[in-house]
Amino acid sequence: MKRIAFATPDELIRHCLHEKVSLVVEYRDEDNKQRQVILAGERLADVPKYIGLPKAEAYYRKGGLFFEVIAGWKGTEESR
């Protein structure tokens, strides 16, 4: 798995649209159950909502490789 960092949600959305990939976001719901959502096309607008959830992790697959998404903006929001 490779890692790729993004400074803003918009940067991530543009990247996914340009690369024509679906973003998979895994997170924990309010009952601490693991959930998964796949965002593509217009649904990519929901990136900030899902990546902002507790213990959220995101990745996509392209060319047989998995790319872990590092949400650089998440660390700056948490430190405020």
Q: Please say whether the beta carbons of 62 and 4 come within 8 A.
A: no
Reference 16, options 53, 63, 69, 65; nearest CA is 69
The string of pLDDT tens digits covering residues 21-75 is 999 999 998 999 999 999 999 999 999 999 999 889 999 999 999 999 999 998 7
Q: Please say whether the beta carbons of 72 and 5 come within 8 A.
A: yes
Could you give phi then psi for residue 30, rounded to 5 degrees? Answer: -65, -20
The string of pLDDT tens digits covering residues 42-51 is 999 999 999 9
Band (pLDDT 50/70/90 cuts) for residue 76 is: low
Reference 57, options 12, 20, 27, 18; nearest CA is 27
Amino acid at 64: G
Which pLDDT score, from 0 to 100, does residue 74 have? 83
